[in-house]
Every structure is written in C-alpha cells, then in structure tokens.
Amino acid sequence: MNSKGIKHMSIIMDGNGRWAELRGEPRSMGHIAGIKSVKQAIEASIVNNVEYLSLYAFSEENWSRPQEEVDKLMSLMLSSIGKEREELNNQGIRFRVLGNRSRLSLELNNAIDDLMQFTEDNTKLHLIIMLSYSGKWDILQAAKALAQDYKLNKISEEEFNQISLSSFEDYLVTRDVPDPDIILRTASEQRLSNYFLWQASYSELIFIDTLWPDFTKEDYDKALKIFSKRERRFGKV
C-alpha cells in the first residue's frame, strides 16, 4: 500500500458517448478513444503503488443499449485483449474480468480465460475489468450460491444461521478483492449506477467533470489529493 493508504482504486469510466457526440462521431469512437485513458489509469496506479485497479466497463443494464453499440463494445474488448496481451504481462499486470460472464460470447470468454491464465502470476498491479456487472446482480448471485450450498449440505444449518458479513462476502465475485478505497467517476455524473453496492459502503466517492477519453494521469493524481484530505472514520468517532 502507498503512503496515502490507497490499496484499491476503482473507476466508473463515463462519458465515451458524449465525447464522441460532441465531435459529431458515432458513440463507438468514444469507446475506442477511451482505451488510451485506461492506459493512463494503469500507469498512474503503478507509479503510485496502488495494488488494485478496477474499471467499470459494462454493466448488466448496458445490455439494453442498441445492439450495434453492444456488439462494437464486445468486439473492442476482444481485440484489446489480443493487442495488449504481451504489454500487460511485461508490465507485471494480472488481468481479470469479473461479472456475469454467462452473457458473454464463447469467443470472448475463451480470450478472457487465456489472458487471465497467462498473467495469473503477476503481482505489480491487479487490473480488474468489471464486465456485465451490477451491484444488485452480485448480491443476488451471492445469495443464490449460499442457498445452493445449504441445499446441497455443503454448509450445515448451524453454519447457515451463523453467516456473518465477512462470510457472505465470500460469495461475491469480488471475494478476494479488497473493497475500493476510492470510487472515481468521470463525466460529472454523481451516482454509483448500480456499481459495487456492497463493496462501496466506506469507499470515498470522487466525481470529476472530465469525460473518460480525456482522462489523464493528472486527473488520477487530483483524485489522490482529494482523498488525502478526507478523514475516514469507518463509523467511529
């Protein structure tokens, strides 16, 4: 952990569509332009010794967007995995995707699995792409998994009755990821949009006006400075 006490930075990457529309371009061009901002966030995380960087790339609700935009987003994810494979590994980055992956194509799931396995021993930075994810879905799937374990007698009635907050967290897709210290959202919107509803209980929320394709390491550093001035009590005096 760095001197600012930040272990996990999470970013809601918002504003790609608006960035493109302001330039009279299709929304997909905003998503393409946003790739360089992902690289900026990665570099800033490494420089600041942040161990975990999670990026909210695509929500469960985003599946309701026009099919053409969804298809281009998934195609962009697939091509990016191929292009960045060696670079991520050379930088010592462990790549992961968390979310409802049952909705992804077989081709994309295979590419994700391959890159996750290829980088699984890296420790410089844990890069986590939240794809087809939502906070409500995560809590619901955790509850279902817990109920299934009880039904199959994998946990006893006594263990079930003694389920704690920490033991329930073991069923979330983020079970081995620390809760985010900062949740940063770009493009001036000030809401979580169904993101990390359980995990954000004591995260510091920071909202900036910058559209995601314009995001730089300087924006990242500004967020760290804002965080450094806040006092985190975690419910205590």
Active site annotation includes 62: yes
Terminal CA-to-CA distance of the chain, rounded, Å? 24
Q: Could you give the count of Cα atoms lying within 13 Å of 50 in the half-sphere of its Cβ? A: 26
Separation between Cα atoms, residue 160 and residue 146, nearest integer Å: 8
Give, as one character, the DSSP assignment of residue 15: -
Give CA 144 to chain center in angstroms.
Answer: 22
Q: Are 61 and 81 in contact (CB under 8 A)?
A: no
Report CA 92 to chain centroid distance, whole Å.
Answer: 18
User: How many H-runs (helices) and E-runs (strands) does the chain carry?
Assistant: 8, 6
- Does residue 48 have an active-site annotation? no
Give the closest residue to 40 by CA, choosing from 79, 3, 13: 13
Given 48, 49, 62, 122, which residue is catalytic?
A: 62
Q: Find residue 182's DSSP bridge partners.
A: 9, 204
Alpha helices in 57-134 (DSSP H): 67-90, 106-118
8 A C-beta contact, residue 108 and residue 132? no
Question: CB within 8 A of 174, min separation 6: which ones?
Answer: 98, 138, 196, 199
Annotated catalytic residues are 14, 62
